[in-house]
Amino acid sequence: MNDEQRAAILRRRDEALRLFVEHPENFTPAVREAILANRVIVGMTPYDCHLAAGAFSYKVQADTAIWPPNSDPLKVLWAQTLRPDNSQIWMSFETDTQFPGEGRCRFRVHFRHGAVARIEKLT
């Protein structure tokens, strides 16, 4: 891990600690623990995942019952945190903390109704 990656992790940790105090109702103890361990777990929101794992790529198929055509996919993604819908969302990350002892690994997170439903290790 280089200095830039360490600094990003510390910035996310500081943000998470602030949010835990300001909005404790939004974070279960398991989610708090996972964020501080830089790990994504089932049940997290997209924002929780970002706090835990950092930079990501994504794919969004917006719920057409909620979102008009050509909606901004990032708005759809972030909206899932507070107003989950039936949008299909995938986020991909690369960390050395998700699978302890395995080094840097890429993984994809699949969401259902705004929460992590499945975590898939990529090869």
Tokens representing 110 are: 């699949």
The CB-side HSE value for 112 (13 A sphere, CA atoms) comes to 5
Band (pLDDT 50/70/90 cuts) for residue 3 is: confident
Q: Would you state the pLDDT for residue 8?
A: 85
Q: Would you state the pLDDT for residue 123?
A: 83
Out of 2-6, 11-15, 33-37, 113-117, least confident range: 2-6
Predicted TM-score of the model (pTM): 0.91
**Alpha-carbon gap, residue 28 to 47, rounded angstroms:** 14
Domains contained in the chain, number: 1
**Which domain covers residue 80, as residue numbers?**
3-122
| 97 pLDDT above the threshold of 80 | yes
Pairing state of beta strands 115-122 and 57-61?
unpaired
C-beta of residue 92 within 8 angstroms of C-beta of residue 101: no
Q: Would you state the pLDDT for residue 89?
A: 97
> What's the chain's average pLDDT?
94
What are the two backbone dihedrals, phi and then psi, of residue 61, each rounded to the nearest 5 degrees? -115, 100
Q: Would you state the pLDDT for residue 49?
A: 97
